[in-house]
Amino acid sequence: MRIITIVGAGLMGSSIGFPARENGHEVRLVGTPLDREIIEHAKKTGEHLTLQRRLPDGYKYYQFEQMGEALSGADLLVSGVSSFGVDWFEHEVLSVIPESLPVLCVTKGLQDTEDGALIPYPYLYKQHLKGRKLNINAVGGPCTSYELADHDPTEVCFCGEDMQTLRAMKEMFECPYYHISLSTDIAGVECAVAIKNGYALAVSLAVGLSEKRDGKLHYNSQAALFGQSVREMRRLIALCGGHDDNIIYAAGDLYVTIFGGRSRKIGALLGRGVDFDKAMEELHGLTLESVVIATRTANAVKKLIAKGAASANDFPLLLHIDALINDGAKVNIPWAAFETEFTT
């Protein structure tokens, strides 16, 4: 039996403990200061307040002030925070844990830099935690928290620098419904699963456009935007220095994301002709990961274009999404820019 401590009681952080607990490991769920109600509710009822599922028997629950107790004897730390909590996790958790404790991050995201690079969170953590030699790994792939909790089979990828560590983590989590590939290509995997958020918004434009046109849900336009998204995501993975095979994680994750959630909602609203600011008001001003990652990715690409290291012709959909979000543009999907000629 291993001891797995999860910090962050959000949807995915809480769900990833399901296979580990069912494999017989001890799972300790630690709430952030924003998760107090979730932890208290779970202690009393055994259910997750927002996931609306019963958590596995044997889960142990801790408020953040009890993190030291929850980390005592732990074999693995899981970061269950969202991308908006990475700075907090870095300062409040990673800065105090022992270097011998491996970390697995469920957080998906990238940070753009002044020179047009896109940095995945495991690398960003290591840059900021100067002098600390932490073993930071990440998970990516098409997996929603609700369906993981419901045991719907999926295939994900654990990535990190040390294959021995990855194999040990795979042994903790793999089960009949949670299948795990392993990769040392951190940049490729993490780029793949982060950039799909912006493209989920892009594909969802077609939902709003068809609803506006005749009130029906059409699939030709969604499929066309999905295909263009895959083409552009492959190019972005290459710019990040990742292996081309990582496109399977980007495409799979894009597929599940466009079926629901806030990325679909904001895309559909924009497609119906609602301008970006009003669409955000309808979503109560929530900061959306799809908006953040699309903006960061577009910023990086525009810097590379300015340096001659990339071409605007390779990213027409991404640049259109950026214009919708940041320049007040109206939806006008550049269909002609997607067309290609290919000869053998």
Give 131's pLDDT tier (boundaries 50, 70, 90): confident
Structural contact between residues 292 and 107, judged by C-beta atoms closer than 8 angstroms: no
R_g of the chain, CA atoms, integer Å: 20
Residue 286 is predicted with a pLDDT of 61
**What 3-state class would DSSP assign to 255?**
helix
Residue 168 CB partners (closer than 8 Å, separation 6+): 102
Q: Which domains does the chain have, with CATH numbers?
A: 3-184 (3.40.50.720), 195-338 (1.10.1040.10)
pLDDT band at 175 (very low <50, low <70, confident <90, very high): very high
Q: pLDDT tier at 186 (50, 70, 90 boundaries)?
A: very high
Rounded Cα distance between 274 and 271, Å, is: 7
pLDDT one-digit tens code per residue, 238-257: 999 999 999 999 999 999 99
Query: Among 157-166, 181-190, 288-297, whose mean pLDDT is lowest?
Result: 288-297
Q: What is the pLDDT of residue 283?
A: 85
pLDDT band at 234 (very low <50, low <70, confident <90, very high): very high
Of the listed ranges 20-24, 26-30, 79-83, 295-299, the one predicted with least confidence: 79-83
Contact 237, 247 (CB under 8 A): yes
